[in-house]
Chains A and B, each alone.
Chain A
Amino acid sequence: NAGVTQTPKFQVLKTGQSMTLQCTQDMNHNYMYWYRQDPGMGLKLIYYSVGAGITDKGEVPNGYNVSRSTTEDFPLRLELAAPSQTSVYFCASSYSGGGGTEAFFGQGTRLTVV
Chain B
Amino acid sequence: GQNIDQPTEMTATEGAIVQINCTYQTSGFNGLFWYQQHAGEAPTFLSYNVLDGLEEKGRFSSFLSRSKGYSYLLLKELQMKDSASYLCAPRSGGSYIPTFGRGTSLIVHP
B65 within 8 Å of A (CB atoms)? no
Q: Tell me whether A90 and B31 are in contact in the complex, defined as CB-CB below 8 angstroms, given that A42-B101, A97-B96 are known contacts.
A: no
Q: How far is the CA of A56 from the CA of B95 in the complex (A)?
A: 10
Residues in B neighbouring A45, C-beta threshold 8 A: 97, 99
A74 within 8 Å of B (CB atoms)? no
Q: Which range holds the interface residue count of chain A?
A: 20 to 34
A103 within 8 Å of B (CB atoms)? yes
Residues in A neighbouring B97, C-beta threshold 8 A: 31, 33, 45, 48, 58
Main secondary structure, interface of A, reads: loop
A53 within 8 Å of B (CB atoms)? no
Residues in B neighbouring A98, C-beta threshold 8 A: 96
Main secondary structure, interface of B, reads: loop
CB distance B50 to A42 under 8 Å? no
Residues in A neighbouring B100, C-beta threshold 8 A: 35, 42-44
Residues 31-68 of B, flagged 1 when their CB comes within 8 A of A and 0 if not, give: 10100000001111100101000000000000000000
By beta carbon, the residue of chain B nearest A59 is B99
A: residues with CB less than 8 A from B are 31, 33, 35, 40-45, 48, 58-59, 90, 94, 96-108
By beta carbon, the residue of chain A nearest B97 is A48
Residues in A neighbouring B4, C-beta threshold 8 A: 42
Pick the contact of B42: A44, A48, A90 (CB < 8 A): A90
CB distance A100 to B87 under 8 Å? no
Q: How far is the CA of A109 from the CA of B96 in the complex (A)?
A: 24
Pick the contact of A40: B44, B48, B87, B102 (CB < 8 A): B102
CB distance B31 to A42 under 8 Å? no
By beta carbon, the residue of chain B nearest A103 is B98
Q: Which 3 interchain pairs have the tightest Cβ spacing?
A: A97-B96, A100-B48, A105-B42
Q: How far is the CA of A106 from the CA of B41 in the complex (A)?
A: 9
